[in-house]
Amino acid sequence: MSALGKLQKLTHVMFILAILALCMLMILFPAETWQAGVRGLAIWWDVLFPSLFPFLVLSELLIGFGIVHFLGTLLNPLMRPIFRVPGSGGFVFAVSCASGYPTGAKLTAQLWEQKLVTREEGERLVAFTTSSDPIFMIGAVSVGFFHNVAIAPVLVASHYAAAFIVGLLMRFHGKGTDHSNKHSISESKVYPSHPNNIRKNKLKLAIESMHQARMADGRAFGELLRQAIASSLRLIIIVGGLVVFFSVIMELLVQTGWLGVLYHWTELGLVHAGLPPALSQSLVGGLFEVTLGAKEAGAAGASIPLMYKAAAAAFVLSWGGLSVHAQIMSILSNTPMRYGPFLLARVIHALIAPILVLLLWAPIMGTMDSPAFAPNIPNFTPFIYTPHWGTIVVTGLVTLGIVVFLLLICSLIISLFSNRHVKR
Read off the pLDDT band of 293 (50, 70, 90).
confident
DSSP state of 195: G
Cα pseudo-dihedral 315, 316, 319, 324, rounded to 10 = -170
Read off the pLDDT band of 352 (50, 70, 90).
very high
Which spans in 171-220 are helix H?
Answer: 187-190, 202-217
Q: Please report the pLDDT score of residue 186 as a whole number.
A: 40
> To the nearest whole number, what is the mean pLDDT of the chain?
83
Provide the b/e sequence for 318-343 (b: ≥16 CB within 10 Å). Answer: bbbbbbbbbbbbbbbeebebeeebbe
Q: Which amino acid, 326?
A: A
Euclidean distance between the first and final Cα of the chain, in Å?
A: 66
Rg of the chain in Å (alpha carbons): 23
Mean pLDDT of 70-92: 91
386: pLDDT strictly greater than 70: no
Residues 6+ apart with CB under 8 A from 326: 242, 246
279: pLDDT strictly greater than 50: yes
261: pLDDT strictly greater than 90: no
Read off the pLDDT band of 199 (50, 70, 90).
very low
Read off the pLDDT band of 198 (50, 70, 90).
very low
pTM: 0.83
